[in-house]
Amino acid sequence: MRRVMALLAAVVPALPLFASPLLASERVALVMGNAAYAHARRLANPLNDAGDIGSTLERIGFVVTRLANADQKDASQCATPNRT
């Protein structure tokens, strides 16, 4: 039991070093705001909310791709990384 505790005491404090977003080469985000649905009434705030979230993410260093009222095809194309 002491060995397990000693191992945890050594490893756990180092975990943020491996998971730190500061080590990422590029932080990216896909922000989607959908207000217009085919079978529901139009929603009032999703586009404004998505704009606010996108702006906030850009301020903290993300490269943001924004989609407004996108269909499934557009969303899938945006969410799939380009492979070269």
Comparing 27 with 3, the larger pLDDT belongs to 27
Which pLDDT does position 31 carry in this prediction? Answer: 93
DSSP 4-64: HHHHHHHHGGGHHHHH-GGG-S--EEEEEE----TTSPPPSSHHHHHHHHHHHHHHTT-EE
Looking at the predicted structure, is the pLDDT value of residue 67 above 60?
Answer: yes
Q: How confident is the model at residue 71 (pLDDT cuts 50, 70, 90)?
A: confident
Q: Tens digits of per-residue pLDDT, 25-66?
A: 789 999 999 898 888 888 888 999 999 999 999 999 999 999
Looking at the predicted structure, is the pLDDT value of residue 15 above 80?
Answer: no
